Amino acid sequence: MSLDVLAAGILAGGLYALIGLGISLVFGVLGLMNLAHGELVIGGAYLASLLVVDAGWDPLAALPLAMAGMALIAYPLQRYLLTPLLRGSKSAPLVATFGLSLLAQALFQAAFGTHPKALPASYADTGLSVLGVRVQTVYVIAFGLTVVLCAGTHLILTRTRAGSALRAASADPDTAAVLGIDVDRVYAMTFAGAAALAAAGGVLTGVAQSFTPSSGLPLLLTGFAVMALAGIGSVGGVLAAGVALGVLQSVSVSLFGGGWRDVVVYLAFFLVLAVRPQGLFRKAYAG
């Protein structure tokens, strides 16, 4: 196995972590398994495509707008649809996010068609040589951006009043409400933040790979695997788990062939769940 393969795995892991971070955030704070997270990722890519493909923007310039756009779409969804459902049965929000996933796919298809799309950029198909190791530029950018976004998320959660409110709402929503915290707003802000992170992942996925209306599901599964490996509530753990997943994939493909990629990854996934069900890393913001 060459260093090129190992480096590719580490860098791909950055993108996995970015996709897993939003899922982990929503599950850690709201206790909601968001089955529409893959569509939030793809939604970000489609939003960016309006600026990149149609208006000629650079994807990195379109990225903040795509993040803001997805956050604006996600906020009312959580506030007026999912939060009321959270107060009822445990399964209702889960089913609702599944419905949202199907609805989003249908909307993407109606608006953008079914052909694959990609976000063109000069760094999409260029490479860098670092210490003799050749890597794809866009994955270096994705990894750097993921580190920045993970650090930003961690700082918001641990060093700001909003983060304190979020952790309080996550630990005990009833007590938090008594203390004057607008729990519904906190939930909606969390979901919007997760959607923004998902959109960032979508833009980078669109540059590095491609996307179609049905591309969300594999991304969702990747995100779940990252979350389970990381354990709920650890931002640093999500980054480490993403990298671990990327390396595991690359190494297993190199050693056993592509057909064994998913077998090895999900075997590791189940082993972690069996041996350390709380994940590989400690909680930081979940209650």
CB of 146 to other proteins, least distance (A): 15
Q: Which is nearer to other proteins, 164 or 212 (CB)?
A: 212
For residue 194, what are the CA distances in angstroms to 1, 4, 149, 256, 277? 36, 32, 11, 35, 23
Question: Nearest distance from residue 16's CB to other proteins, in Å?
Answer: 9
Q: Which residues bind other proteins (CB under 8 A)?
A: 2, 4-5, 7-9, 12, 53, 106, 109, 113-118, 120, 124-127, 134-138, 208-212, 214-215, 218, 246, 249-250, 253-254, 257-259, 261-262
Q: How far is the CB of 107 from other proteins (least distance, A)?
A: 12
Q: Please name which of 241, 281, 287 lies closest in space to residue 265, comparing C-alpha atoms.
A: 241
Quick one: which of 107, 81, 114, 76 has its CA closest to 96? 81
Q: How far is the CB of 221 from other proteins (least distance, A)?
A: 9
Q: Nearer to other proteins by C-beta: 269 or 281?
A: 269
Taking the complex as a whole, the smallest distance from the CB of residue 12 to other proteins amounts, in Å, to 5
Round to whole Å and give the CA distance between 227 and 28: 10
CB of 17 to other proteins, least distance (A): 14
**What is the helix, strand, coil percentage profile of the chain, to 5?**
75, 5, 20
| Distance of alpha carbon 46 from alpha carbon 65, whole angstroms | 12
Distance CA 83, CA 97 (A): 12
DSSP 123: T
Closest-CA residue to 109 (of 220, 224, 216, 223): 216
- Comparing CB distances to other proteins, the nearer of 91 and 129 is 129
CA dist., res. 116 & res. 211, Å (int): 5
Token pair for 170: 């996550």
Q: Which is nearer to other proteins, 139 or 281 (CB)?
A: 139
Q: Which is nearer to other proteins, 110 or 274 (CB)?
A: 110
260 vs 270, which CB is nearer to other proteins? Answer: 260
